Amino acid sequence: MEQEYFPISTLKILYFWARFPALLFPQKNEITDLVYLNLHEKAHGPYGLIAGTTGSGKSETIQSYILSLAVNFHP
């Protein structure tokens, strides 16, 4: 399967930055369909743990998470 790439200019960064006033992330949960993680220090907080065996995708998950932060939330 070939990866499809889009230029950064096609992203509507300012739209995304205005859309999310808080650091809320939708997360898939085994028990319910969707839960939200709030990274504000007075909510769930910015700390977490990612665990898994070698080759299970931990680094890919972290990279995707950081990219999502950059696209969806202003600095």
pLDDT digits (tens, 9 = 90+) for 23-74: 777 777 677 777 777 777 887 777 878 899 999 989 998 888 888 888 877 7
- Whether 63 maps to a domain, the answer reads yes
Q: How many domains does the chain have?
A: 1
Q: Is 1 within the bounds of a domain? A: no
d(CA 70, CA 50): 20
Domain membership of residue 54 (yes or no) is yes
AA letter at 52: G
Domain of residue 61, residue span: 8-72
- Give domain status of residue 43, yes or no: yes
Q: How far is CA 68 from the centre of its chain?
A: 4
Domain contains 57: yes
12 located within any domain: yes
Residue 41 inside a domain? The answer is yes
How far separated are the first and last CA of the chain, in Å rounded? 34
Query: Is 49 a domain residue?
Result: yes
- 1: confidence class by pLDDT, cuts 50, 70, 90: low
* Beta strand segments in the chain, E: 24-28, 34-38
